[in-house]
Amino acid sequence: MKNNIDYKDVMDLILDTDDVTVGGGSASALSGALACGLIGMVCKLSTKKDYGIAPDMQLEYARELEELREKLFKGVVDDANAYGVIRDAYKLPKETEEEIVIRKQAIADAGVVGASAPLENAKLCRRVYDIGIELDGKSNPNCYSDLVIGYELAKIGTYGCLMNIDVNLPLVKDEAKLQEFNDAIKELRID
């Protein structure tokens, strides 16, 4: 199911140490995508008998994880693009009073963009984590290490995305948006 996402481009984007547009938010989304692959594999290897979750439900989880993986690969790129919006806002001229006002608003708007991309990725990573936890003790025991590595990667992805939201919040001036982001951080946090 390789839609229009070029996996090599995603990997190149993450692994290029000279590309400053890619940071922790993109890496966190990729962590979630990797988790999807591992947990989905565990699901497919848990269909020969009922380990606590029926084989048809295992396949349903595997299908959902494939969809989440695609969204997270897209999220890698979305997060890098969000950084570009912030960078471009800071590059706006600030010579006149009018330019200063325009630049200030552009930075505030960019902060919303910069926090929105990792918010979407955090929701996806958290769903992957929740699926992994649901499967713990209810899937093929021969794949236990793959399952745990998968849901720990999803947990790292979730935390990384939440940190990425938090780092952008000082730019956000809209109180309603700030509240929305802070509520989401609390809701998505993994205890």
What is the percentage of the chain residues whose pLDDT exceeds 90? 84
More confident residue, 2 or 169: 169
Q: Provide mean pLDDT across the span 122-145.
A: 98
Q: What is the pLDDT of residue 113?
A: 97
Q: Provide mean pLDDT across the span 70-98.
A: 94
More confident residue, 22 or 42: 42
Q: What is the pTM of this model?
A: 0.91
**pLDDT band at 3; cut points 50, 70, 90:** very low
Domains of the chain in start order, with CATH, are 23-188 (1.20.120.680)
Q: What is the pLDDT of residues 110-120, one digit of tens each?
A: 999 999 999 99
Cα-based angle 39, 117, 164 (whole degrees, multiple of 5)? 85
Q: What is the pLDDT of residues 6-34, one digit of tens each?
A: 556 666 666 666 666 668 899 999 999 99
How many angstroms separate the CA atoms of 74 and 93, rounded? 31
Residue 111, token pair as written in the block: 């902060």
Q: What is the pLDDT of residue 191?
A: 85
Directed axis angle between helix 144-168 and helix 97-135, to 10°? 160
- The answer for residues whose C-beta is within 8 angstroms of residue 100's C-beta and 6 or more apart is 94
Q: Among 3-7, 19-23, 33-37, 93-97, where is mean pLDDT lowest?
A: 3-7
